[in-house]
Structure 1
Amino acid sequence: MEIHRQENEDFLPVRVIQRDTDVTHLHLARRGLTYVPDLLRFSMLRCVWLNNNKIREVSRTSFNCCLTELYLQNNDIHSISGALRHLTCLRVLLLFNNQMRCLEETVSELKYMQDLHTLSLYLNPFTQDPEYCQYVLHHLPSVRFLDRKEVKEEERRRAFKLFSVERQRVFDSIAFGRRALPPPAGRNAPSSITKPVGQHGSRKRCTDSRSEDRENPSVAKSIIQFSIMNWSGTSTSQWNHLDDSSEPASDILTVKLR
């Protein structure tokens, strides 16, 4: 039985890597590495496993730009600034359980990865920030799986409201075909205006903007304009063979509402 099994193993195909371009997957996990070796010579490299080592720094010269999957979890990495932004084809990146402390710096490094759909950053110090998830989702819209969880549409809406306050205000103000104008420069919103009253300096809250508009006639008012065209008088194919003088004129009615 042992001889028969040995004969079968001798006939198994063995892939021999003769050139650097033959390397597409590289497993370097659990090797006790303290730095990332130079892997640029592997021009066809797509997936690299460097997890469960003792790596503290990542260099820009470590990876080629065609990399699609990178596993750097369970290391001692403090920063990835300037090291990964050229990996624009990256789709999977695992960086959990490291020592990265600056969330803005990390997200800024990843924003060039338009195809990044799986990202894990948990167990890093910056994940203690209560707005961590919303910040990542807002600045990295391509991510579909964050920290092993699928991103829900409701989470994206919350992130948008939290970090796009001005754009959300514009969206909320659009209704019935018009946009509510913001207060003029140098003037606070009516709901937050307070004025001193009387000799004792008591203050009251001003909620009626019409009285202030009467006091300041220079305040710009919004105007809605409608244009209506009388299509019954528009030239059609039936008029083509007639004389130009017989062609009816089109009427345009313009109404302005203040």
Structure 2
Amino acid sequence: MAERVMEEQIQDCGYRTDSDVCELYLGRKGLRDVPDLSRFRMLKYLWLNHNKISRIHFLSMNYRLSELYLDHNELSDITGSLSHLSSLHTLMLNDNRLTGLKKTVREMRRMANLRVLNLFHNPLAQDSGYRVYVLHHLPSLELLDREPVSQKEREEAFKLFNPERTAVIQSLGFGRRTDSVIGARPAIRSPASCRLLQSSGKCDRTRNSDRPDTAPFEDRVLLRGYQRSIMHYSLVDWSKMARSQQRRLAQQPCHLPPLVTVEFR
């Protein structure tokens, strides 16, 4: 039945050879299976919506596909069937039976050109943090589930899945670098680490050079967390600086104003 429907569609469109076929509309045909479409190498647009398709095994050589409509079918898993379609721009998978958010998104990680994606009305769309997870792992998306992707959503996804990099970016914004992670719990210090901090100058920063190199690695990392870079800002009061004419007319030599240095830790 599927082959007959496909041949009728080819005749209706007036295609003469397989290489002329750039689009196929096979939607709403009650199809349960689709024959291999490898012979249509130039196929770019494919409609298979509103059928009863349960698995995808017919797109192994259709690398030029840019729009694929598989919504309103009976798909429960797409693993190993779509990852090679790197030219896809639009992918409709809503109203299916897809479960497993991670493996479904992993299948689309190589689609660098993917801009429009529909996954609503699937069991995976009920997972907690579904939208932010998809946006983080598919950064090229501009429209997800018929809603535009905002810059605020991208930033929230970045902060949620990259806490270390977020902490570094925020620390650089205040003119210093820190190795701590925002929201991280303080580490439980052992007696040995406490003695190390006391002997290494936590209160007296001039004794940093005396810290023992034989201390455990964890204690040395903890010690470094208490150290911060020192920033110096030097200022000159230009109102007290003599002008060139004043220097020429002055009876006594003009002294340079003092240099004021401010230290930030």
- TM-score w.r.t. the length of structure 2 is 0.67
Letter in 2 for 1:68: S
Classify the secondary structure of the residue corresponding to 1:106: helix
8 Å contact from structure 1 (residues 37, 62) kept in 2: no
| 1:98-128 Cα shifts (integer Å, max 9, x gaps) | 1111110011110101110000000110110
> What is residue 104 of structure 1 aligned with on the other side?
102
State the Cα deviation string for residues 120-174 of structure 1 (Å, max 9, x = none).
Answer: 0001101101200000000001000000111111111111111122221222222
Report the Cα distance in structure 2 between the residues aligned to 1:100 and 1:176, rounded to whole angstroms.
Answer: 45
Indicate the structure with greater strand content. Answer: 1
Q: CA deviation at 1:32?
A: 1.4
Q: Determine what percentage of the aligned residue pairs are the same residue.
A: 42
- Quote the offset at 1:182 in angstroms: 3.5
Matched residues in 2 for 1:166 and 1:39: separation?
A: 46
The 3-state SS of whatever aligns with 2:24 is strand
Q: In 1, distance between residues paired with 2:185 and 2:161?
A: 21
Question: Structure 1 residues 194, 211: CA separation in 2 closer, same or farther (over 3 Å shift)?
Answer: closer
Partner of 1:135: 133
Is 2:198 the counterpart of 1:214?
yes
The equivalent residue for 2:83 is 85
List structure 1 segments (4+ residues) > 6 angstroms apart after TM superposition. Answer: none
Structure 2 equivalent of residue 181 of structure 1: 179
Change (3 A) 1:52 1:148: same
1:21-60 to 2 correspondence within 5 Å? 21-59=19-57
Q: How many residues are treated as equivalent by the alignment? A: 201
5+ residue gaps, structure 2, are 1-11, 202-210, 212-222, 235-262
SS at match of 1:70: strand
The separation in 2 between residues aligned to 1:167 and 1:223, in whole angstroms, is 18
Q: Work out whether 1:150 is the aligned partner of 2:148.
A: yes
Q: CA deviation at 1:55?
A: 0.5
- State the alpha-carbon separation in 1 of the partners of residues 231 and 151 from structure 2: 37
Rounded to whole Å, the distance in 2 between the matches of 1:50 and 1:126 is: 21
Match of 1:113 in 2: 111
Q: Which runs of 5+ in 1 are unaligned?
A: 1-13, 197-209, 229-255
Q: Which has the larger helix fraction?
A: 2
Q: Which amino acid aligns with 2:114?
A: L
Contact 1:60 1:84 in 2 (8 A): no
Code of the residue aligned with 2:120 in structure 1: it is Y
Deviation, structure 1 residue 63: 5.0
